[in-house]
Chains A and B, each alone.
Chain A
Amino acid sequence: MALMPKRVKHRKSQRGRIRGDATRGNRVVFGDFGLQAEQPGWLPAATIEAGRIAAQQYLRTEGRLYVRVFPHKSVTSIPLETRMGKGKGEPEYWAAVIKPGTILYEIGGVSEDAARLCFARLAHKMPVRVRFVKRRVM
């Protein structure tokens, strides 16, 4: 089941612009290693879930995976072959707005090699360029 908010104030949202870098959620906090976005973009709920499943299947019962993003934004679309007008389309999917620097996933309790291999699998699924980061001591 893809992620989605439980309650929202408005069903539809405007597209918006992704400006600047992430000033929050850009550090590895819960685990030891993280996957950091290098580009701005929208991360659909289905992709977040696909990444989570891919990582979980690789890790099996080892270690712990943390998903650091949540799809708060509804993305609408109008059906194919529909004439212009008649208002905004219906919500199609939910997406997380990603700013450069955002940590998408974290892994704890595994070796660095295992974390790198796991994140390499995830990286292929991501719609933005990502990099491997480690927890910083200072």
Chain B
Amino acid sequence: MSDSLEVVTRPATGTRESRRLRRQGMVPAILYGHGEKCVDLAARREALELVIRHGSRVVDLTGAVTESALIRELQWDTYGLEPIHVDLLRVSKTDRVKVKVPVDLRGEAPGHRAGGTVNIVLHEIEIECTPDQIPDKIHAQVGGLEVGGVIKVHDLELPAGAVAVTDGDEPVVSCTMAGVKAEEAAAAPAEPEVIGRKAADEGKGEAEE
């Protein structure tokens, strides 16, 4: 499902203009792809945040341009609270796009019940599919994951027509027994080694001899 996002063109670009826009409650955006010209746009922050909250990857742009676009990259402020820039990629229904989709664990691993720890090695995997096939999440069924077991990318169930771009042999989830860490050696140095100090001292000692 795709949401609509109203955009306006921005006449000026650059850091100062972008900051001015942000102060006015707008988020700078850029639209590119399909070999056409890049268009500098801006969208209202509330509208963009609504689209993000819905989890929409593909948006129907209205206003200054009327096209379908994929949210390719989102830049956030330091605290990750407000979007500060959005990259939009022109897409048509037949295009195949590469997107990163989060992995969601389903079920309870028997290995976890046996005292093991379930580790998520890959939090998201990259898939290639058409824009209308992009799933919100990819479910990894851990119902059969024993201690020492691994679920790899090729074990995941992808939506019809989607192909994993991430290497199929990459582990996604593993279950390991929590090891007891050996106590660190008591004779740990009180101070770090100073680079160059030791060599200089040795040289001095030799010279004295």
Contacts and interface: CB of A to CB of B under 8 A. Distances in A.
Interface of A: 1, 4-11, 21-23, 26-27, 36, 38, 61-64, 91, 100-101, 108-109, 131, 133, 135-138
B110 interface: no
Interface residues of B, number: 26
A21 B52 CA distance: 24
Contacts of B52: 138
Given A36-B80, A64-B119, A138-B55, 10 more contacts: A1-B188, A7-B195, A8-B192, A8-B195, A22-B78, A23-B78, A38-B79, A101-B78, A133-B79, A135-B123
B117 A109 contact: yes
B74 interface: yes
Interface in B92-148: 102, 115, 117-120, 123-124
Contacts of A131: 79
Contact of B119 (A5, A21, A109): A109
- A interface, over-half SS: loop
B194 interface: yes
A99 to B, nearest CB: 8
A9 B191 contact: no
Most interface-central of B76, B192, B193, B194 (chain A CB within 10 A)? B192
A5 B193 CA distance: 8
A26 B76 CA distance: 10
Interface of B: 52, 55, 57, 71, 74, 76, 78-80, 102, 115, 117-120, 123-124, 178, 184, 188, 191-196
Contacts, number: 64
B194 A9 contact: yes
Contact of B195 (A9, A109, A138): A9
B163 to A, nearest CB: 21
A26 B68 CA distance: 31
Given A26-B78, A27-B80, A109-B117, A1 B184 contact: yes
Contacts of B195: 7-9
B5 to A, nearest CB: 14
Contacts of B55: 137-138
B193 A7 contact: yes
A85 to B, nearest CB: 24
A62 B76 CA distance: 31
A129 to B, nearest CB: 12
Nearest to B116: A61
B115 A61 contact: yes
